[in-house]
Structure 1
Amino acid sequence: MKHNKDDRRDNVDRIQYNIDKTIQNFRMAEDMIEETSDDKMKKALEAKNDRREEALTGMRNEIKEEAIDKQNGYK
């Protein structure tokens, strides 16, 4: 079985795209929280946003590492 070479050249761009989309979803959920009067919906959206914040922390750490690796030529 032939293994594909690990191509990481677009990782920084891909992670940044994911960060941007997560922030966009976070903001949309915040708007929905303000507009809804359904407490169950508010709690669900707040829980999702808590998970999004955790994911953003991880993605930001990952993008820093990938940017350093990219700058060093993935050595």
Structure 2
Amino acid sequence: MRAVQQQVDVEVRGGHPTGLSWNGQAYPVQAVLDWWRSGGRWWLGEAPRDCYLVQAGNLTAELHREDTQEGRWWLARVQD
């Protein structure tokens, strides 16, 4: 997988991602392949986060949601 680290817009239903927008294109999430919780890089002041590996069309992506009031979503990595 290739690192991306870009903030993205993510649609959520039932607490899980159902779609994302990246580079001007919408990707509906067909499946959540894996889910885990990460403590974040605490030594850099990062908040804990929920991480999802999703299949969204032809895109396999790792999404992270920060555990903060803003709840920002990041596209961490994509399948090469």
The TM tier, using the shorter chain, reads under 0.3
The TM-score, its normalising length taken from structure 1, stands at: 0.21
Larger relative contact order (C-alpha < 8 A, sep ≥ 6)? 1
In proportion to residue count, which structure has more helix?
1
Structure 1 or 2: more strand by fraction: 2
